[in-house]
Amino acid sequence: MESSMEIGQTSPEVRRVVVITGAGQGLGRAYALMFGARNHPVVAMDLNEVAVNAVASEIREAGGECLPLVVDVGNANAVEEAVRRVEEHYGRVDVLVNNAAIFSTLEMRPFEEIPLDEWSRVLHVNVTGTFLMTRAISPLMRRQKWGRVINVSSAAALMGRPDYLHYTTSKAAIIGMTRSMARELGLDGITVNAVLPGATDTGIPRQTVTPAQKQAQIAMRCIQREANVDDLTGTIAFLASDESRFISGQSFVVDGGLVFL
């Protein structure tokens, strides 16, 4: 019988190759550092070369292993090449965290005022990027009959949040995508789940949210404090682990009890 382990960890001898997109900052960075600290090889992908190399350095300095790759997840050729490099380097991918998204740079505005090119760009990166990454990596997971796909959606998809229609739409699409992917990949031992963070202090400046708006949202939570990145890493770790083996197609809201699913 296996000995009891900390939730979110696999057996000590098991090292999973973890691919994380949008790993250069914010929540993606936190996920990368967490997996690196747990002795899992991390493939950190980001469009920002300086940022992703900095994350890789942090992981290595702490004794972990990281392969940084500069990747535009919305570019099919770039995604295929990146996955080829990962397969060449590690021979497999065990966990995929689809985290890359456009959000912090978006200006809050009524949907009638969203430029079409901005709408298209958000949907392309947030939705198509998730599709392209999973499409490229799923054959490796199917081959080994084991895999964990974790798609990062947002609690905004359940709130009907105003003035971010393109972002909210993209994150709602991720929930539907997660459910369909779970149906298609389950027979090969691959689970697919979504994590829906609420507003979280990631250290990324956001000029569009006032202190008053932030405090109003905190006041509506069951747990009335600001969320930080460490509040998300445990859920991600659990869904990447053996302990989550019979959970698939589900959406996990991590927002301190603001939205109930």
167 is catalytic: yes
Bridge-partner residues for 70, per DSSP?
46
Give residue 207's pLDDT.
66
Task: Please state the domain extents for the chain.
Answer: 18-254
Quick: pLDDT tens for 111-127. 999 999 999 999 999 99
Which of 31, 90, 164, 167 is the catalytic position? 167
Question: CATH for 18-254?
Answer: 3.40.50.720
Quick: pLDDT tens for 185-228. 999 999 999 999 998 888 887 666 778 878 888 898 999 998 89
HSE-CB at 8 with a 13 A cutoff on CA atoms is 13
Quick: pLDDT tens for 81-137. 999 999 999 999 999 999 999 998 999 999 999 999 999 999 999 999 999 999 999
The reply to whether the predicted model has a pTM over 0.85 is yes
Find the mean pLDDT for residues 167-175.
98
